[in-house]
Structure 1
Amino acid sequence: MIQPRPRPIPEATVARLAVYLRVLTALADGGRSTVSSGELASAAGVNPAGLRKDLSHLGPCGTRGVGYEVGTLRDRLTRVLGVERSRACVLVGIGNLGTALAHYAGFGSRGFEFVGLFDAAPSRIGQVIGGRTVQPVEELEQVVAATQASIGVIATPAEVAQSVCDRLAAAGVRSILNFAPVTLAAPAGVDVRKVDLSVELQVLAFLGQQRLAPPEEQPA
């Protein structure tokens, strides 16, 4: 008998599942064994109904009147999100942002390991950042092949980001996180997520301005 394929989880839901996993990990580290849907929803910044709808993609995972077993739900989310094993990542662009990313210890605790740091500037080659030596960008393909890196992070200037994306895709990287302020074109089968910090700041500035404006001046 052919088993039905599991229904795909919407991208927005996946993002929230990752937040639930972060909260559950913190609860588990603090010794908690159970958590109510209301408490988990509040800690994740969502409403309880939305939480239950998101978790319905995982199948039955809570007990009425008790809530969720922290360890069990954490482990299920870990498997669903595919972070039960370490993922090899490469980072291209070791400017201020790239350096901060390379130093951030939180990636390692969540199953992501930078196996290669790359830059085109001779002054940065050979620097040790986050315990790893910065290599010339010419060695990118070689390192991707040797480490089977599946994720590439781009923190380069906008004008070179597309060429870096092309090289990562050609080398076999199928997931790219782009911090460069430009939209990238990637071939089919390569997922690109864009993080534009300036846009996020502009949104916050607008929201702050709107909050301070008199009601009659706010947009309808």
Structure 2
Amino acid sequence: MGNQKIPATPSIRRLPSYLHIIRQAQRDGLEYISGTVIAEELNLEAIQVRKDLAITGIVGKPKKGYPVHALITAIEHFLGWDSIRDAVLVGVGNLGSALLGYQEFQFHGLNIIAAFDKDPKKIGSSVHGVPVMPVSTMEMQIRNLGVKMAILTVPSAFAQETTDILVKAGITAIWNFTNVKLKVPENVVVQKEDLSSGYAMLCVMIQMAQMQPKK
């Protein structure tokens, strides 16, 4: 994005939830949907929804709301989900296998075309239709495939050395599911997913709910 300022992370994270609701409105035959309706579905403030949608460049119509089809198009384009992105996955363990089988990715333009692992029992097989290749050939295979995105689900001890190979192979975007803060060149972007932080949030919410006075 060069020197462009990236919109606030919470706004970006909320857009997929909005998209789910708007797509349902489309299936129900609605031509317009208001920010208030989206807000009520997600227990948010309507003004927050309108601010979030504004980053996509779309403008609603007074008393009507947003044209459903145009709103879907605007969100998908902003997120880059209207184009196909090929990716590879490294580390076909429990999490890696689950991600390979996650069917929703295809609706977001993410196409995992190959996976890599060290386990001889997995090499040469396919997981959810994705071929598993040896890590030892990863650099060459990625260059041949011309892929620029990688999903990293290896054990943390191997995260950095695997990343170094990915970068050398030409990968410029890494979705990091390890707990390691990766060291990469400036031209490589990394998104770290910390599953434990989501669980921590859930635990705090449970404790807060238990502290609420019983009616």
TM-score > 0.5 by shorter chain? yes
| 8 Å contact from structure 2 (residues 33, 65) kept in 1 | yes
- Tell me which of 44, 47, 68 is aligned to 2:45: 47
**CA separation of 1:214 and 1:58: change in aligned 2, threshold 3 A:** closer
Counterpart check, 1:61 vs 2:93: no
Measure the CA separation in 2 of the matches of 1:188 and 1:6: 15
Match of 2:175 in 1: 177
CA contact (8 A) 1:141 1:167 kept: yes
Question: Is it true that 1:90 corresponds to 2:64 in the alignment?
Answer: no
SS of aligned partner of 1:64? coil
Instruction: Check the 8 A contact 2:83/2:109 in 1, yes or no.
Output: yes
Indicate the SS of the match to 1:58: coil
TM-fit CA distance, 1:143: 2.8
Among candidates 99, 110, 113, match of residue 112 of structure 1: 110
**What is the TM-score of this pair, normalised by structure 1?**
0.85
Q: C-alpha separation between the residues in 2 aligned to 1:23 and 1:147?
A: 36
For residues 23 and 134 of structure 2, what CA distance do their matches in structure 1 show? 36
The residue type equivalent to 1:75 in the other structure is: T
**More off after superposition, 165-174 vs 11-20:** 11-20
2:12 and 2:212 mapped to 1: Cα distance? Answer: 37
**Structure 1 pair 168–31 and aligned structure 2 pair: CA distance change class (3 A):** farther
Matched, 1:166 2:172: no
- Quote how far apart the aligned CAs of 1:27 are: 3.1
Q: Distance in 1 between matches of 2:35 and 2:5?
A: 23
In 2, distance between residues paired with 1:92 and 1:30? 40
- The TM-score normalised by the length of structure 2 is 0.87
> Which residue identity lines up with residue 131 of structure 1 in the other structure?
G
Compare 205-214 and 172-181 and name the one that shifted more. Answer: 205-214
Distance 1:93 1:168 in 2: 13
Structure 2 residue aligned with 1:128, among 126, 130, 136? 126
8 Å Cα contact 1:23-1:44 kept in structure 2: no
SS in 2 for 1:116: strand
In structure 2, what is the Cα distance between the partners aligned to 1:115 and 1:151?
11
CA distance, structure 2, for counterparts of residue 115 and residue 23 of structure 1? 29
Structure 1 residue 157, shift from structure 2 partner: 0.7
Contact 1:161 1:184 in 2 (8 A): yes
| Runs of 5+ unmatched residues, structure 1 | 216-220
Q: Which residue of 1 aligns with 2:147?
A: 149
Report how far residue 156 of structure 1 moved: 1.0
Give the Cα separation in 2 of the matches to 1:47 and 1:182.
Answer: 35
- Provide the secondary structure at the position in 1 that maps to 2:55: helix
Tell me the number of residue pairs that the alignment of Structure 1 and Structure 2 aligns.
211
Quote how far apart the aligned CAs of 1:205 are: 1.7
User: What is the SS of the residue equivalent to 2:86?
Assistant: strand
Tell me if the contact between 1:88 and 1:114 (Cα under 8 Å) persists in the aligned partners.
yes
Which residue does the alignment assign to 2:21? 23
